[in-house]
């Protein structure tokens, strides 16, 4: 999964995945790294079939709970700007959208 996420972030491509087996989500991947010893992914969710998280917005996800990840052909603009930035402090940062 690491290679696919790094590529999606560098190429600013949307990703599709299942999170905690609760429906398919489409999101912009923004940060991917390790925080407090846990591999995590910060995304801006665009769509979800989940009953609990249907709205768009920032999501901080545990990588261990992501299944069926696909990098889509569709691209996104990149960073959402300083006023909306939700970047975290990371122990290790593998990739960050520019």
pLDDT by residue (tens digit) across 64-85? 999 999 999 999 988 876 544 5
- Predicted local confidence at residue 83, as pLDDT: 46
Q: Would you call 5 helix, strand, or coil by DSSP?
A: helix
pLDDT at 1: 65
- Report pLDDT for 47: 81
Overall average pLDDT of the 31-35 stretch: 94
Structural domains in the chain, sorted by start: 2-96 (2.30.30)
Q: What is the pTM of this model?
A: 0.85
Q: SS3 for 17-73, per residue?
A: EEECCCCEEEEEEEEEEEECCEEEEEEEEEEECCCCCCCCEEEEEEHHHEEEEEEEE
Please give the average per-residue pLDDT across 28-50, as a whole number: 91
Sign of CA dihedral 49, 47, 38, 71: positive
């Amino acid at each position: 999964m690491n290679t696919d996420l790094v590529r999606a972030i560098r190429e600013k491509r949307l990703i599709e995945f299942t999170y905690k087996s609760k429906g398919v989500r489409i999101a912009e991947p923004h940060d991917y790294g390790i925080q407090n010893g846990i591999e995590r992914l910060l995304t801006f969710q665009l769509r979800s079939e989940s009953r609990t998280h249907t709205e768009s917005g920032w999501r901080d996800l545990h990588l261990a709970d992501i299944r069926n990840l696909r990098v889509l052909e569709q691209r996104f603009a990149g960073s959402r700007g300083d006023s909306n930035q939700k970047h975290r402090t990371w122990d290790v940062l593998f990739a960050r959208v520019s």
